[in-house]
């Protein structure tokens, strides 16, 4: 019985037959999905990869070129049958163009256009949803992964290649540990318009706690201390290999289904972006946190700039954290509480002055007076109209009473 081709076995059962395909896949990171998407097109067209390349060669020998492959791809993308969804046709179009590009037979850019109008709304989780998802995680790795992706906004492709060295030194002692990720792990891999892009993001306190727990757990599994070169996200069983792009997605799917909470790793990025919007962060700072190209800014990754970014990120922490069920105090209530605290502080200060004045008054009344009862006392209480005269005679102000009168004493 013929085995069904899936993302997991497409390279072994199909792609490995064709040197043109295996050579192409060495250029890619997402090999499994790209191979499967290309396989779908080949099956639909009833053509092998060498036969498709031969059609493109035929194009080159005729003028004007009939663009046979481009038209075939247009037919595939415009096919209204239920065999493929719009997103599957979109992925296939990307894979087909990529295959021809890396075999030095570029297709016309106008071919293979797919309308990706979204039919279903994006998942929109609440803190309760994330808490449920986290509670269904049955091992320290997954319990660390959920708060990690929902506070850092790191993409799935980057997660699969992330190492402990991307965390700042002595990160477990920092309140908001920083992750500084170079362009080679981000979208575009530092080429062309993506050159110089970095992602600077941070862990919330609860994400740091869970990551620290996972670190201790995986060190016990490995039987050694982790090194900066070790991948962060590993399989749970020997030989504890790095989780691939596909494995990360599969693990999240399993957890999502168990918890009955629709969730993808990209939802974590949307959660972070929503929190950043709520605190009114500048678009450029939000791009740094998400690992996107910063517009119109030179050298934005100096340490002072990172420190400023961290302080702004701190405002988003209450919005990002979800493990602890803490009631959220509305902003206007926080402002009113701060105002009341300032008023209370002012009243305490005034009361302290009043008590001091009463004490001074008592001392003045007990002071032994001279014959005229005025000039020998060490302190006196006078009205504002008499103050200037006393000041000219070398007296100084000791306190102002609530009544408006002034306590003076000899200089």
pLDDT at 1 (0 to 100): 39
User: pLDDT tens digit string along 215-254?
Assistant: 999 999 999 999 999 999 999 989 999 998 888 988 999 9
B/e letters for 161-170, b = 16+ CB within 10 Å, e = fewer, are bbbeebbeee
Q: Which ranges of 223-260 would DSSP assign to H, the alpha helix?
A: 245-259
Q: How far is CA 37 from CA 33, 276, 400, in A?
A: 6, 35, 84
Q: Domains of the chain: which residue ranges?
A: 10-102, 127-320, 339-410
User: pLDDT tens digit string along 9-61?
Assistant: 999 999 999 999 999 999 887 899 999 999 999 999 999 999 999 999 887 77
Q: Which residue from 297, 304, 291, 146 is spatially nearest to 233, judged by alpha carbons? A: 146
Confidence of residue 394 (pLDDT cuts 50, 70, 90): confident
- pLDDT over 50 (residue 368): no
- pLDDT over 70 (residue 360): no
CATH T-level fold of 127-320? hpI Integrase; Chain A (1.10.443)
Tokens 């992925």 correspond to: 91
DSSP state of 242: B
Which helix (DSSP H) or strand (DSSP E) does residue 181 occupy?
Answer: strand 178-181
- pLDDT over 90 (residue 311): yes
Here the contacts of 134-139 (C-beta below 8 Å, separation 24 or greater) are: 134/322, 134/323, 135/259, 136/255, 136/258, 136/259, 137/255, 139/217, 139/236
pLDDT at 399 (0 to 100): 75
Cβ proximity of 227 and 167 under 8 Å: no
User: pLDDT tens digit string along 198-218?
Assistant: 889 999 999 999 999 999 999
């Amino acid at each position: 019985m013929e085995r069904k081709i899936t993302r997991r076995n497409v390279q072994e059962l199909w792609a490995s037959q064709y040197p043109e395909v295996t050579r192409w896949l060495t250029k890619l990171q997402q090999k499994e999905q790209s191979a499967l998407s290309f396989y779908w097109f080949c099956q639909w067209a009833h053509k092998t990869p060498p036969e498709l390349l031969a059609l493109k060669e035929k194009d080159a020998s005729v003028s004007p070129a009939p663009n046979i492959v481009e038209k075939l791809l247009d037919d595939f993308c415009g096919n209204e049958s239920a065999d493929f969804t719009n997103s599957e046709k979109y992925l296939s179009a990307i894979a087909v163009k990529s295959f021809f590009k890396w075999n030095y037979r570029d297709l016309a850019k106008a071919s293979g256009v797919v309308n990706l109008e979204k039919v279903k709304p994006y998942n929109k989780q609440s803190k309760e949803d994330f808490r449920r998802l986290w509670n269904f995680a049955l091992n320290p790795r997954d319990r660390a992964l959920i708060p990690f992706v929902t506070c850092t906004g790191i993409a799935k492709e980057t997660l699969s290649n992330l190492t402990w060295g991307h965390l700042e030194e002595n990160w477990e002692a920092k309140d908001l540990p920083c992750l500084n990720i170079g362009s080679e792990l981000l979208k575009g891999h530092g080429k062309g318009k993506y050159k110089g892009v970095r992602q600077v993001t941070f862990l919330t306190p609860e994400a740091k706690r869970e990551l620290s727990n996972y670190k201790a757990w995986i060190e016990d599994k490995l039987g050694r201390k982790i090194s900066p070169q070790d991948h962060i996200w590993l399989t749970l069983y020997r030989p504890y290999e790095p989780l691939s792009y596909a494995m990360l997605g599969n693990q999240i799917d399993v957890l999502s289904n168990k918890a009955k909470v629709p969730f993808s790793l990209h939802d974590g990025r949307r959660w972070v972006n929503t929190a950043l919007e709520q605190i009114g962060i500048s678009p450029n700072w939000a791009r740094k946190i998400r690992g996107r190209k910063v517009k119109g800014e030179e050298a934005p990754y100096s340490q002072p700039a990172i420190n400023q970014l961290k302080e702004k990120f701190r405002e988003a922490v209450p919005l990002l954290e979800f493990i602890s069920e803490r009631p959220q105090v509305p902003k206007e209530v926080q402002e009113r509480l701060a105002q009341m605290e300032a008023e209370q502080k002012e009243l305490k200060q005034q009361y302290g002055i009043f008590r001091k004045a009463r004490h001074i008054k008592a001392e003045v009344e007990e002071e032994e007076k001279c014959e005229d009862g005025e000039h020998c006392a060490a302190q006196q209480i006078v009205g504002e109209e008499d103050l200037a005269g006393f000041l000219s005679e070398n007296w100084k102000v000791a306190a102002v009473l609530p009544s408006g009168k002034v306590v003076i004493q000899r200089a």
